C-alpha cells in the first residue's frame, strides 16, 4: 500500500485553543482508516487538516508526497472528496442536482457519458433513487447524509474523507455506508472515516487511529488499539471487548455493572 497522506508533527489551534498536538500518521491507498476518540478529542479537526480546510500551526501534511499547501483548490477537488458532518444546502436544489455537483471538478475534463455513469453509480450505491426529484432541504437527516455521500462518490476521487457518515443513519444504512467504504479501499482508494461506534470501526476498518485531548494515543489494527484498558483510559468507562463473535470482529460494549452512575 502506498501513502496517500503523510502527517508529521501536526499541531493546530482554533479560537486560540490548541486542538491537535504533535500528530504523526500515515494513511495508505487500499485501506480504511477510522479516526476514533471521545467528544472533543480532535478527530474532526485532524480531518480538517487533511482536507486543507483547517490551517496547521506547525508540522506538515503531505498528500501524494506533496505538501498540502502546494495544491490548488481545483486539483484538491479532483483528488480528495470530503463529506462533512453538516449536510446543508442553502437553496432548494433537488437531490439529483446535489449529486450532480460532485462532477463539478471534472467539467471540461470528462465526457457527458462518463459523468452520467459516475452519477448513476453513486445513486445506486447510496440507495437514493427514490429521492432524486425531492428538494434536498425537505429530506430527513439520514436522507441528507446519504445524498451528500452520493455527491462525494460521484466525484470519483482517489482519497475519500468522511466525517461521521453514519451518525444520522439507521442500522441498515450504517452498514451499507461502511461496505461502500470497504469497496472503495478494495479498489485502491484511501478512505479516512471519523466514527463514534467502536464496534463498527472494528468491523470495517483496516486500522484505527485513536485520539484523546488532541494527541494520538494509538494507531494499529482494531485488536491492537481497542483493548479494554485503553478504551477505559480514553473514554472513562469500563468496557467488555468481545472477541469470540460469529463473524470474527470484536465488539466493544459498556461494562454496565461497573459504569452505572445513577443513584437513588
Tens-place pLDDT, residues 243-260: 988 888 999 999 887 655
- Give me the pLDDT at residue 89, please: 73
229 in a structural domain = yes
Q: 3-class DSSP state for residue 157?
A: coil
Tens-place pLDDT, residues 29-52: 999 999 999 999 999 999 999 999
- Whole-angstrom Cα distance, residue 58 to residue 217? 19
70 in a structural domain = yes
CATH number at residue 25: 3.40.50.300
68 in a structural domain = yes
Instruction: Identify the segments of the chain with pLDDT beneath 70.
Output: 1, 87, 90, 258-264
264 in a structural domain = no
- Whole-angstrom Cα distance, residue 221 to residue 250? 11
- Give me the pLDDT at residue 158, please: 96
- Give me the pLDDT at residue 92, please: 84
Domain range enclosing 39: 3-259
- Give me the pLDDT at residue 2, please: 73
- Give me the pLDDT at residue 90, please: 67
71 in a structural domain = yes
- Give me the pLDDT at residue 184, please: 96
pTM, rounded to two decimals: 0.92
Placement of cell 472515516 in the chain = 193
- Give me the pLDDT at residue 262, please: 46
In sequence order, what are the residues at sequence separation of 6 or more whose Cβ sits closer than 8 angstroms to the Cβ of residue 260?
A: none
108 in a structural domain = yes
184 in a structural domain = yes
139 in a structural domain = yes
Please give the C-alpha separations between residue 235 and each of 212, 228, 239, in angstroms, as whole numbers.
Answer: 9, 10, 10
Total domain count, the chain: 1
Amino acid at each position: 500500500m502506498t501513502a496517500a497522506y503523510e502527517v508529521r508533527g501536526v499541531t493546530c489551534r482554533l479560537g486560540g485553543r490548541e486542538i491537535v498536538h504533535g500528530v504523526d500518521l500515515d494513511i495508505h491507498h487500499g485501506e480504511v482508516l477510522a479516526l476514533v476518540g471521545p467528544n472533543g478529542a480532535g478527530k474532526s479537526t485532524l480531518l480538517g487538516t487533511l482536507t486543507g480546510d483547517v490551517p496547521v500551526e506547525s508540522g506538515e501534511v503531505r498528500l501524494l508526497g506533496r505538501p498540502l499547501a502546494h495544491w490548488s483548490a481545483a486539483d484538491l477537488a479532483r483528488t480528495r472528496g470530503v463529506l462533512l458532518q453538516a449536510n446543508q444546502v442553502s437553496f432548494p436544489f433537488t437531490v439529483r442536482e446535489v449529486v450532480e455537483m460532485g462532477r463539478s471538478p471534472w467539467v471540461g475534463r470528462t465526457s457527458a457519458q462518463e459523468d452520467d455513469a459516475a452519477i448513476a453509480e453513486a445513486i445506486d450505491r447510496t440507495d437514493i433513487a427514490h429521492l432524486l426529484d425531492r428538494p434536498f432541504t425537505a429530506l430527513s437527516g439520514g436522507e441528507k447524509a446519504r445524498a451528500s455521500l452520493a455527491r462525494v462518490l460521484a466525484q470519483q476521487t482517489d482519497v475519500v474523507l468522511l466525517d461521521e457518515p453514519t451518525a444520522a443513519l439507521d442500522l441498515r444504512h450504517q452498514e451499507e455506508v461502511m461496505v461502500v467504504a470497504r469497496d472503495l479501499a478494495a479498489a485502491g482508494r484511501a478512505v479516512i472515516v471519523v466514527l463514534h461506534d467502536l464496534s463498527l470501526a472494528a468491523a470495517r476498518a483496516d486500522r484505527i487511529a485513536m485520539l484523546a485531548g488532541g494527541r494520538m494515543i494509538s494507531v494499529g489494527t482494531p485488536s491492537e488499539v481497542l483493548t479494554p484498558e485503553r478504551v477505559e483510559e480514553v473514554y472513562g468507562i469500563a468496557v467488555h471487548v468481545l472477541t469470540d463473535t460469529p463473524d470474527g470482529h470484536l465488539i466493544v460494549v459498556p461494562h454496565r455493572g461497573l459504569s452505572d452512575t445513577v443513584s437513588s
